[in-house]
Amino acid sequence: MLAHNPDKPVEIMDFQRAFENPLDKAKALINDFCESEYGSPADFSDLHNVHLAYTTYTDDELPLQVMADLIDHAIIHEFNNVTFQAEMFDDLTQMIENGLTGLDFDELVAISDEDIERYSAKAEPTAEVEQTDDIDKPLFTDTAVIDEIKRNEDSDIPFSEKPDITGEQLSFFGDSEPLTTAKSAPDKSEFAKGPVVDGVQVYEALAAEIDRGTGFVHGKLRVQDFYEEQHPTVQQLADFLKKEYGTGGHSGDGKISLVDYDSKGLTFSFENGEKFHHSWYNVATMTESRLKDDTYLSTEQKAERAALKAEQSADEQSPHTVVIGDKFRNKLTGDVSEVVSLTGALPFYTDDCTV
């Protein structure tokens, strides 16, 4: 276990070194930190789980640990064995620049009082099962059932590979129920379990905010155009979203009282006084998933975008038709002329004039 010495100053040598690849540089930064902070080298035996920091909080000494995942490019913060913060990066280069450079123990193990209270709840004690003298008696006494169990035990075909098997499932609490071998459907939840603030799942709230749009007319259409035309990385998309959303915000829904945008990201303010911050990188990650599966724009927004594209294309392909009443301004002299007849020459209808 890494032992933090608060009386020992951290000194990381600042000099240029050549590395063959980003992984070597990431390892060097982590190792420098561990050598200076703990007096021992880092453990890279599991690149998915490289320990960076460890401490405890509260009188119960609940653990807080921070790990670097050099394979999936993440820094994971866990308190009381629950992940309360995950910093995700596009690649190792970005992880080095924004996560591993300038590692600081106090910053790594920082946690809010609200999170300490939220994740300090102890698990409910499990009820003890009363043991009886009948524990070794067979569960089934029906001869036919016992014979069927024995036949299945002797069979070379696994039960899971017998698709035609049907029967009844015995129940302690009522009538038997039909038994089938259908596989249970996978969890189709779009959101992984994440932090809940004031009763609000913050990733679901982020999804709703993305669906709402950037706050500007045709903002989502510009995001869709940028994605299709530029094929950006997540970081490039994050930079674009930061400019598109700008600085501002709006009132929230339900227990979210306010939503703010600034150069650092998107922040939810809750009625209970708590706040939760999403970086633009996190916003871009969820936005990209919607762009990839073609769910970023609603049906109405797709139709609106198609109409605007068609109108733009028509304007580009069809030259302006001169009609009586059109006015032209000469760019050089500023003189304005009006079309009074469609016969004869139109001396100002040239590249030197504007309609």
pLDDT digits (tens, 9 = 90+) for 206-229: 999 999 999 888 999 999 999 999
Whether residue 129 is contained in a domain is answered as no
Number of domains in the chain: 3
Contact present, 71 and 47 (Cβ < 8 Å): yes
Question: Confidence class of residue 181 from pLDDT cuts 50, 70 and 90?
Answer: very low
Whether residue 8 is contained in a domain is answered as no
Whether residue 236 is contained in a domain is answered as yes
Least confident residue range of 193-207, 283-297, 318-332: 318-332
Query: 87 and 35, same structural domain?
Result: yes
Contact present, 253 and 211 (Cβ < 8 Å): no
Residue 173: strand, helix, or coil = coil
Domain residues for the domain of 336 are 319-355
Rounded to 5 degrees, what are φ and ψ at 321?
-95, 125
Whether residue 176 is contained in a domain is answered as no
pTM for the whole structure: 0.42
Whether residue 172 is contained in a domain is answered as no
Query: 288 and 221, same structural domain?
Result: yes
As a dihedral over the C-alpha atoms of residue 186, residue 190, residue 196, residue 202, rounded to 10 degrees, the angle is 170
Contact present, 261 and 248 (Cβ < 8 Å): yes
As a dihedral over the C-alpha atoms of residue 41, residue 25, residue 68, residue 95, rounded to 10 degrees, the angle is 160
Question: Confidence class of residue 325 from pLDDT cuts 50, 70 and 90?
Answer: confident
For 139-170, the pLDDT digits (tens) are 445 566 566 655 655 555 554 445 454 455 55
Rounded mean pLDDT of 253-260?
A: 92
Q: Is the pLDDT of residue 11 over 50?
A: no
Whether residue 178 is contained in a domain is answered as no
Neighbour-count burial of 116, counting CB atoms closer than 10 A to its CB (0-12 exposed, 13-18 middle, 19+ buried): middle
Query: 349 and 274, same structural domain?
Result: no
Question: Confidence class of residue 282 from pLDDT cuts 50, 70 and 90?
Answer: confident
Query: 57 and 32, same structural domain?
Result: yes
